[in-house]
Amino acid sequence: MTVIDDIKTVLASTAYYLPTSSPEMAERAAAVRSMATKVRAWLPPELQIGDELATLKVDAGGQKGGISPTPWVRVFAERYSPSATQGFYRVYLFAGDGSRVYLSLNQGTSEFRSGHLRLMSSTATLLQRSEAARQFFAGWSGDLVHGLRTDIDLAVSSLDVGVQPKKRASNYEAAKRLRARLRRGHTHHRRSVEV
Secondary structure in 3-state letters for the chain: CCHHHHHHHHHHHHCCCCCCCCHHHHHHHHHHHHHHHHHHHHCCHHHHCCCCCCCCEEEEECCCCCCCCCCEEEEECCCCCCCCCCCEEEEEEECCCCCEEEEEEEECCEEEECCEEEECCCHHHHHHHHHHHHHHHHCCCHHHHCCCECCCCCCCCCCCCCHHHHHHHHHHHHHCCCEEEEECCECCCCCCCCC
* Percent share of the chain, pLDDT over 90: 28
Segment 179-184 shows an average pLDDT of 61
**Residue 193: what pLDDT?**
40
**Residue 89: what pLDDT?**
85
Segment 29-43 shows an average pLDDT of 93
Per the model's pLDDT, the better-predicted residue between 120 and 37 turns out to be 37
Q: Sorting pLDDT into bands at 50, 70 and 90, what band is 145?
A: low
Residue 167 has pLDDT above 80, yes or no: no
Residue 187 has pLDDT above 50, yes or no: no
State the average pLDDT for the chain: 78
Segment 84-104 shows an average pLDDT of 88
99-110 pLDDT tens trace: 999 888 887 776
* Percent share of the chain, pLDDT over 70: 71
**Residue 148: what pLDDT?**
62
